[in-house]
């Protein structure tokens, strides 16, 4: 156990920080019905990192982070604008187009770059096993700032996500708070995508939130259940990675998938037992 903590300790702490902030955002995202917006934002941020990489800057350097943040903020502006449009095209379609474009652009950009395949793998699944404590501190600081901001203005964020029409009737500027929501999410995604990767971020954001919403319609109960799932999966996935010598990010993602399937079956059984 001591060896496990020494090897996996930093990765586990990083996962717990990711779970703490992403489960909250996940509740909002699922209720908004824009399930893949985080995946698209992460891919947009990854595209910014790729541009910095091709310009000769290290992947984990400050310049790459700035590039990634700028690209993610631009993505936030796009998603805010598309949600404000009441046309025939669903926002999810725009999100899918942005994701596909950025993913393909990354492939084209790194096609002739040295170690291009390794770069794409790094962006997809990250390298959370080798995360450094100063990086965890940076992610934690961003999570605390964003979390405090959302807590102070929780009523506005909840209205904009759960009942935007009521928010408009109360005089809330829905586009403004939409933009603040996406910008804060983009900041968190940009700070963590370089260590967690696109797929692990998506798993932390969506799976615990969906698991929580399976068993409760209450925001706070769903949030608590999501946190429990996120913490449990972080520990279980890390232990499987250590015990079987598997990639940590992929192990946690697959553990999320298995836990979700088990909870879906459990929910089905509960509904069956309750029938008269």
> What is the secondary structure of 221-252 as a DSSP string?
HHHHHHHHHHHHHHHHHHHHHHHHT--HHHHH
Encode pLDDT of 232-244 as tens digits: 999 998 888 888 8
**What is the pLDDT averaged over residues 223-235?**
92
Encode pLDDT of 39-55 as tens digits: 888 889 888 888 887 88
- Output the CA torsion sign for 142, 144, 145, 149: positive
Encode pLDDT of 154-196 as tens digits: 999 998 888 888 888 888 888 889 899 999 999 999 888 878 8
**pLDDT of 152:** 94
């Amino acid at each position: 156990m001591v060896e496990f903590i020494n090897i996996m300790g930093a990765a586990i702490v990083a996962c717990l920080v990711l779970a703490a902030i992403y489960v909250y955002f996940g509740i909002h995202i699922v209720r908004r019905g824009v399930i893949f917006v985080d995946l698209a934002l992460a891919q947009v941020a990854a595209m910014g990192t790729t541009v910095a990489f091709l310009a000769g800057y290290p992947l984990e350097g400050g310049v790459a982070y700035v590039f990634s943040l700028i690209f993610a903020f631009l993505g936030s502006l796009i998603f805010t604008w598309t949600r404000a449009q009441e046309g025939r095209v669903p926002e999810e379609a725009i999100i899918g187009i942005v994701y596909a474009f950025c993913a393909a652009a990354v492939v084209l950009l790194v096609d002739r770059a040295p170690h291009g395949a390794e770069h794409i793998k790094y962006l997809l699944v990250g390298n959370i096993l080798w995360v450094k404590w100063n990086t965890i501190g940076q992610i934690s600081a961003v999570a605390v700032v964003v979390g405090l901001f959302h807590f102070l203005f929780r009523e506005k964020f909840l209205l904009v996500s759960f009942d935007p029409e009521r928010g408009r009737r109360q005089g809330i500027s829905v586009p403004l708070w939409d933009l603040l929501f996406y910008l804060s999410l983009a900041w968190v995604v940009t700070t963590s995508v370089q260590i967690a990767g696109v797929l692990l971020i998506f798993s932390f954001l969506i799976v615990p939130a969906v698991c929580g919403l399976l068993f409760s319609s209450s925001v706070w109960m769903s949030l608590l259940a999501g946190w429990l799932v996120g913490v449990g999966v972080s520990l279980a996935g890390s232990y499987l990675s250590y015990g079987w010598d598997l990639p940590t990010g992929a192990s946690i993602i697959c553990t999320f998938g298995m836990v979700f399937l088990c909870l879906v079956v459990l929910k089905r059984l509960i509904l069956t037992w309750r029938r008269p």
